Amino acid sequence: MDVVEFRPTPDQYAWTFGGVAPSHRIRPGTVLRLWTEDAFSGRLQRTTDMPSQVLDMTQVNPQTGPFHVEGAQPGDTLAIHIVDLTPARDWAASTTIPFFGALTHPYTLHEPLPERTWIYQLDRAAGTVRFESAALTLDLPLEPMLGTVGVAPPGREVRSSLVPDTFGGNMDTPEMKPGTTCYLGVNVEGALFSVGDGHYRQGEGESCGTAVEGAMDVTLIVELIKGGAPAWPRLEHDDHYAVVGSARPLEDAWRASQVGMVAWLGDLYGLDRLDAYQLLTQVALSPLANVCDTNYSALTKISKHLLPAADAHGGMHAHLRSLAKGLI
Amino acid sequence: MDVVEFRPTPDQYAWTFGGVAPSHRIRPGTVLRLWTEDAFSGRLQRTTDMPSQVLDMTQVNPQTGPFHVEGAQPGDTLAIHIVDLTPARDWAASTTIPFFGALTHPYTLHEPLPERTWIYQLDRAAGTVRFESAALTLDLPLEPMLGTVGVAPPGREVRSSLVPDTFGGNMDTPEMKPGTTCYLGVNVEGALFSVGDGHYRQGEGESCGTAVEGAMDVTLIVELIKGGAPAWPRLEHDDHYAVVGSARPLEDAWRASQVGMVAWLGDLYGLDRLDAYQLLTQVALSPLANVCDTNYSALTKISKHLLPAADAHGGMHAHLRSLAKGLI
Amino acid sequence: MDVVEFRPTPDQYAWTFGGVAPSHRIRPGTVLRLWTEDAFSGRLQRTTDMPSQVLDMTQVNPQTGPFHVEGAQPGDTLAIHIVDLTPARDWAASTTIPFFGALTHPYTLHEPLPERTWIYQLDRAAGTVRFESAALTLDLPLEPMLGTVGVAPPGREVRSSLVPDTFGGNMDTPEMKPGTTCYLGVNVEGALFSVGDGHYRQGEGESCGTAVEGAMDVTLIVELIKGGAPAWPRLEHDDHYAVVGSARPLEDAWRASQVGMVAWLGDLYGLDRLDAYQLLTQVALSPLANVCDTNYSALTKISKHLLPAADAHGGMHAHLRSLAKGLI
Amino acid sequence: MDVVEFRPTPDQYAWTFGGVAPSHRIRPGTVLRLWTEDAFSGRLQRTTDMPSQVLDMTQVNPQTGPFHVEGAQPGDTLAIHIVDLTPARDWAASTTIPFFGALTHPYTLHEPLPERTWIYQLDRAAGTVRFESAALTLDLPLEPMLGTVGVAPPGREVRSSLVPDTFGGNMDTPEMKPGTTCYLGVNVEGALFSVGDGHYRQGEGESCGTAVEGAMDVTLIVELIKGGAPAWPRLEHDDHYAVVGSARPLEDAWRASQVGMVAWLGDLYGLDRLDAYQLLTQVALSPLANVCDTNYSALTKISKHLLPAADAHGGMHAHLRSLAKGLI
């Protein structure tokens, strides 16, 4: 297996999906050992650092990549398997950015909510990050995930790394974790995928707009499947299938994920649309991902334990899992 | 403990929250052993029964009750503990009702989706219900829940039993299951709560609009807490807290549940609003309940394992759990 | 023509659509000469009156009525023609109610916007109301309208007089003005319609949630058409047809009005759904009504000058206009 | 005055806002005499042409431009005055594109609505376009407008010419007509604005997704104002001010336009936010623009006759109107 290591310098960050020359050209099957800077580009380090003073909003969600995958053509399917996510620092940050987040609203006449910054200290041995507030201190389990995994968009567009859509991107779902295979439709030659926005943990919905944001050491395996591009990002774990929809209002994000899962159940079991709709109604889990970004993201997720065994996308997940075992 | 048993005859069903004379007056602490008819009023029995032909849309979601709780005043909190839910029939039904459900839309020019009815056979020994379709037959775990648990609304309103709102009602969340304590604010003297719409199982979102709908034997304990009415329904399990918000669009349903949980975290731990917002961001689970009813319902849910021990509403849940143990 | 005069005393106000005994039984063709109190029940009289101190939120939008129309059956169409609206006081009030209005949001963590009350003085000779602020004083044309015109809802429901829906209600559209015929589907025997919430003028959208609110002398003629109940309220002026949709999110309110107009164009000209959709696309006006109430309201409106002459609902509007001429 | 004429060949069309090299560099004050191809790139010519067969969805809304305006810097304001719009063909087309348009929905399980194409013949002498259907033939007034007027977006993004947002773009408002001055904030050096998507007429909301689409001869004057960039596009007519907001759901598009107008009223008259909110509530017109595009667009519009005289943006509109008079 080819192995590519890449720790971008600040001038090498990508800030968009699409519109950027590839940092590397890789072959399908390549192992990537990457470092990703945090969503704030490392500018938020102390509880006294206020977003309006230290953040540069044109430099958030720095991406590592993009990677040109040889042979990837529009209509193909990229399979990105997350082998490992390890925090690259012993602390992480979260904050309230004016008029950003689910419990504020930009199109009102209110003054912004107060800015406040939280710094989380990591305890690697215990596997926890520490939430500290005036009233309460809590050690919360470390559950690393990637906020952004995306390819270049279709239709000649270039989108900010803050955007989730059909091309993946800033989906901000806790389901993007070690052991996950993410299937993305390819829109441009080479796919041009990138990753970033590591979270040491995050609740579903990412309420205040920023998770426990931290730099991350990321190990991926990237594979290519000819054809079969799904309309919306699909995730496969050992024990679940999931589809991510991104849109506004939130019901449309979720409906997109449902329609995506109806299609997947059709692929896997030959269910017609109505039977898939019925089955979904009785077995779907529907965890939210983010309700703060430019599109909201919602998942439709099904436990494999409820379904007959099947080989999604030709058994790609099992294949990548076995490759991954040799890497850790 | 007082025990009241009630199996309503069809002429005794209630069809609304509010606006109906109580079926019983009960004292706080009463055990209720109830029977609830299914959401279709039992009219859907075969796969050849089509909703447009056999359903009476003015007679769906029949309620058992309402119960007048002595001493309940506006501003008080009703605690309804679900001791047990046992399917009262060996089969259940689900269907597609024209222009009802998440993957159709009433304000379009489309023809309705085809009507199709599924009948689920119950295997009590195995604890399963059977999904049958042309392509696939699956035995799914029985996971009984109540779609509707509600009190009379505020503001002189009378709402259909299809509606979820601040008063609870047709929330259609799988979290309303045995072992749950549901806290509802009281709006009118006596609270006037009712239950119905049993589901043998349901996915999150209730996509097609109807779960595995079945008649249910329901055992509840009802308690009253003076004052402390929450703005939105709160649920407490042994291992989770949850708040249910109901509104449209879906983001507002979820935001309501988030604001409700910010308030609860403040009650439990003295967190100020910003610290509660931050904690929520990192620990909330956000499962959807329904995306098909007149208001959509979404939950904010937190694992108690992540939080310090606390006695919500004066330790009511533990109290009711211990009472319930004597009943089964 | 029968003429009924009614100036309710405060204990005679209705606060809901449905759920209230009729104040009068009238025959179709009756002229009603009514007085309506303002939306604040007259409690806001000075710029120093703050809503949180002087308003009783259980007593807003008092209704005059309801009127039982003899012979009205579910499925029939009530035609309410507004003959005249004359301000009943020489002043009117508007204000900002905490977390109510389009540019605030209830499900956030913000403090409420400041409360401020504006009193508008009326100049009857000039036909103006005076907006006064620190920076600017403006005389604005008097354009009286009714915020609420509604019948009892279907499905056994009772709704607050703050709610707009299929039954009309608190639609808050400036199109509800002298010369308008409003067609409402009848849901219960007698229809039980009421009116209230007079505005001396209002912009489209009713941004801050309260118009130039004032008591009103109202002259109506009420007619009954057997059958033909429209799904959504229809308005007819001498020069326009309009349909009002009410829902959330706002696009669904507007879509409902569009689907309603597709149906009306079909009734009037035999256009099939696709041709009506096309024609609508090129000729519809789409003024908003309110973006602040429990449902938002939006209109689809077409100039009669663009269409062939037609007799909507059997020429009822022309009939009522001619009757009205004899009354003024 | 500099005059630039440009009739792009198909290989010169731009398909995005941003990401395209300028077709011309012009000085502020330049008169542009342009030709724009129709939204379908001219591919829909007969009622038998079906979108799914003849359209290339990667080649819709071709743009003429972009134009680099010398001296334009981020934060400046571009003033684009529409001197004249004259249909460049004697016919125009409209159609139903599968799952595009307000009365269909992409995230459902419905089959697409039928495709149907309407060809409108122009009668220049009468100033009409002819709607033809099985049931009805109507001559509708010609009211030419531009669907898209936009500059390059901020944040390194490149957006499809189907998108409306803060940068203008595919707003699809009938208010973009001869006599209009459109003020757009500049995001990149040179502003890089383009125009296209001429409509011979369109209703508010553009229900089915396509107006009376036709090639257009366009005469513009382009001016530059240093600084003063508005957050959202502003329109000025002889008799109205308007702000266009674009977002989903629709209420957020309208709220954005309202917040934009609150700012403009503050600029013009020194009104504080609450007084501007109040005034808006009583005087705003709120016509919809489109409810079909990737963002919906809504306007807040005020008649100048209701307001004291003022010189918006330094009297730019009057200046451009006087220049325009010399051109026709």
For chain C, the C-alpha Rg in angstroms (whole number) is: 19
Residue of A85, A117, A81, A82 whose CA lies nearest to A98: A117
- The pLDDT value recorded for residue C66 is 98
| Beta strands C145-150 and C168-169, pairing class | antiparallel
Share the mean pLDDT of chain C.
Answer: 98
Touching subunits of B (3+ CB pairs, under 8 Å) are A, C, D
Q: Is B107 in contact with C298 (CB distance < 8 Å)?
A: no
pTM, rounded to two decimals? 0.98
Chosen for mutation from B60, B157, B232 (greatest number of chain C CBs closer than 10 Å) is B157
- The pLDDT value recorded for residue B24 is 98
DSSP-assigned letter for residue D113: P
Chosen for mutation from D100, D108, D208 (greatest number of chain B CBs closer than 10 Å) is D108
d(CA A275, CA A270): 10
Does the distance separating the beta carbons of C109 and A108 come in below 8 Å? no
Q: Which residues contact A309 (CB under 8 A, 6 or more apart)?
A: none
Confidence of residue B203 (pLDDT cuts 50, 70, 90): very high
Q: How far is D102 from chain B (nearest CA, A)?
A: 8
d(CA B129, CA B196): 20
Per residue in C181-209, pLDDT (tens digit) is: 999 999 999 999 999 999 999 999 999 99
C72 is written with which tokens?
A: 């009205």
Number of domains within chain A: 1
Q: Is B261 in contact with B302 (CB distance < 8 Å)?
A: yes
| Beta strands C117-123 and C128-132, pairing class | antiparallel
Chosen for mutation from D158, D232, D272 (greatest number of chain A CBs closer than 10 Å) is D158
Per residue in A64-109, pLDDT (tens digit) is: 999 999 999 999 999 999 999 999 999 999 999 999 999 999 999 9
Q: Is B268 in contact with B115 (CB distance < 8 Å)?
A: no
> What DSSP assignment string belongs to D39-50?
TTTT---STT--
- The pLDDT value recorded for residue B326 is 86
Q: How far is A66 from chain C (nearest CA, A)?
A: 37
Helix axes B250-269, A250-269, angle to 10 degrees: 110
Q: Is A300 in contact with A232 (CB distance < 8 Å)?
A: no
Helix axes D250-269, D273-283, angle to 10 degrees: 120
Does the distance separating the beta carbons of A109 and C105 come in below 8 Å? no
DSSP-assigned letter for residue A233: -
d(CA B238, CA B317): 8
Does the distance separating the beta carbons of D110 and B110 come in below 8 Å? yes
Which 3 state secondary structure label does DSSP give D108?
coil
The CA-atom distances, in angstroms, between C14 and each of A99, B19, C64, C162, C293 are 41, 16, 6, 12, 19
- Please report residues of A whose CB lies closer than 8 A to that of D99: none
Per residue in C225-272, pLDDT (tens digit) is: 999 999 999 999 999 999 999 999 999 999 999 999 999 999 999 999
Does the distance separating the beta carbons of D96 and C277 come in below 8 Å? yes
Q: Give the number of residues written for chain A.
A: 328
Share the mean pLDDT of chain B.
Answer: 97
Does the distance separating the beta carbons of D113 and B104 come in below 8 Å? no
Chain C residues near any Cβ of chain B (below 8 Å): 15-16, 18-19, 58, 107-109, 155-160, 245, 247-249, 252, 255-256, 258-259, 262, 273-274, 277
Per residue in D56-78, pLDDT (tens digit) is: 999 999 999 999 999 999 999 99
Per residue in C206-215, pLDDT (tens digit) is: 999 999 999 9
Res D1 pLDDT > 90? no
Does the distance separating the beta carbons of C108 and B277 come in below 8 Å? no
Res C130 pLDDT > 90? yes
Chain A residues near any Cβ of chain D (below 8 Å): 15-16, 18-19, 58, 107-109, 155-160, 245, 247-249, 252, 255-256, 258-259, 262, 273-274, 277
| Out of B116, B140, B298, closest to residue A306 by CB | B140
d(CA A99, CA A115): 10
Q: What is the CATH number of the domain that holds C10?
A: 2.60.120.580
- Please report residues of B whose CB lies closer than 8 A to that of A296: 251
Touching subunits of C (3+ CB pairs, under 8 Å) are A, B, D
The continuous run of DSSP H or E covering B80 comes out as: strand B77-87
Q: Which residues contact C198 (CB under 8 A, 6 or more apart)?
A: C36, C38, C85, C87, C88, C144, C145, C146, C147, C213, C214, C215, C216, C218
Does the distance separating the beta carbons of A103 and C104 come in below 8 Å? no
DSSP-assigned letter for residue C158: B
Interface ipTM: 0.98
- Please report residues of C whose CB lies closer than 8 A to that of A111: 110
D223 is written with which tokens?
A: 């001016």
C96 is written with which tokens?
A: 């900002």
Domain range holding B173? 3-325
d(CA A296, CA A199): 18
Bond into A154 cis (ω within 30)? no
d(CA B7, CA B35): 5
The continuous run of DSSP H or E covering A324 comes out as: helix A316-325
Q: How far is D24 from chain A (nearest CA, A)?
A: 21
Does the distance separating the beta carbons of A113 and C110 come in below 8 Å? yes
Res D328 pLDDT > 80? no
B308 is written with which tokens?
A: 């310090």
For tokens 């979260």, what's the residue? Answer: A94
Q: How far is D292 from chain C (nearest CA, A)?
A: 10
Per residue in C29-78, pLDDT (tens digit) is: 999 999 999 999 999 999 999 999 999 999 999 999 999 999 999 999 99
Chosen for mutation from D105, D207, D208, D291 (greatest number of chain B CBs closer than 10 Å) is D105
- The pLDDT value recorded for residue B106 is 95
Q: Which chain A residue's Cα is nearest to C100?
A: A108
The dihedral formed by the CA atoms of B303, B305, B308 and B313, expressed in degrees to the nearest 10: 50
Does the distance separating the beta carbons of C157 and B160 come in below 8 Å? yes
Q: Which residues contact D296 (CB under 8 A, 6 or more apart)?
A: C251, D246, D247, D248, D249, D250, D253, D288, D289, D290
- Please report residues of D whose CB lies closer than 8 A to that of A155: 15, 58, 160
Q: How far is D81 from chain C (nearest CA, A)?
A: 24
Angle A243-A245-A251 from CA coordinates, rounded to 5°: 120
Interface size between A and D, measured as CB pairs under 8 A: 70
Res B328 pLDDT > 80? no
End-to-end alpha carbon distance in chain B:
14
- Please report residues of D whose CB lies closer than 8 A to that of A262: 109
The identity of residue A273, as a single letter, is: R
Q: Is D244 in contact with D169 (CB distance < 8 Å)?
A: no
Which 3 state secondary structure label does DSSP give D109?
coil
- Please report residues of C whose CB lies closer than 8 A to that of B256: 107
For tokens 């041009």, what's the residue? Answer: A192
- The pLDDT value recorded for residue A282 is 98
Average pLDDT for B97-117: 97
What sign does the CA torsion over C288, C290, C292, C297 have?
negative
- The pLDDT value recorded for residue C34 is 98
| Out of A16, A108, A274, closest to residue D157 by CB | A16
The CA-atom distances, in angstroms, between A111 and each of A104, A115, C110 are 10, 11, 8
| Out of B105, B109, B249, closest to residue D108 by CB | B105
Q: Which chain A residue's Cα is nearest to D159?
A: A157
d(CA A52, CA A36): 23
Chosen for mutation from C108, C208, C250, C255 (greatest number of chain A CBs closer than 10 Å) is C108
- Please report residues of A whose CB lies closer than 8 A to that of C105: 105, 108, 110
Beta-ladder partners of A278: none
- Please report residues of A whose CB lies closer than 8 A to that of C107: 103
The CA-atom distances, in angstroms, between C87 and each of B299, C194, C207 are 47, 18, 22
Per residue in A122-175, pLDDT (tens digit) is: 999 999 999 999 999 999 999 999 999 999 999 999 999 999 999 999 999 999
Residue of D236, D305, D239, D296 whose CA lies nearest to D267: D236
Half-sphere exposure of residue B201: CA atoms within 13 angstroms, side-chain side: 25
Which 3 state secondary structure label does DSSP give D276?
helix
Q: How far is C150 from chain D (nearest CA, A)?
A: 23
Residue of A12, A29, A13, A24 whose CA lies nearest to A68: A24
What sign does the CA torsion over A100, C246, D232, D18 have?
positive
Q: Which residues contact A220 (CB under 8 A, 6 or more apart)?
A: A31, A32, A34, A80, A81, A82, A83, A195
d(CA B127, CA B129): 7
C-beta neighbour count of A253 within 10 angstroms: 29
d(CA D232, CA A107): 12
Interface size between A and B, measured as CB pairs under 8 A: 206
C-beta neighbour count of B325 within 10 angstroms: 9
Does the distance separating the beta carbons of C284 and D207 come in below 8 Å? yes
For tokens 């983001």, what's the residue? Answer: B251
- The pLDDT value recorded for residue D326 is 86
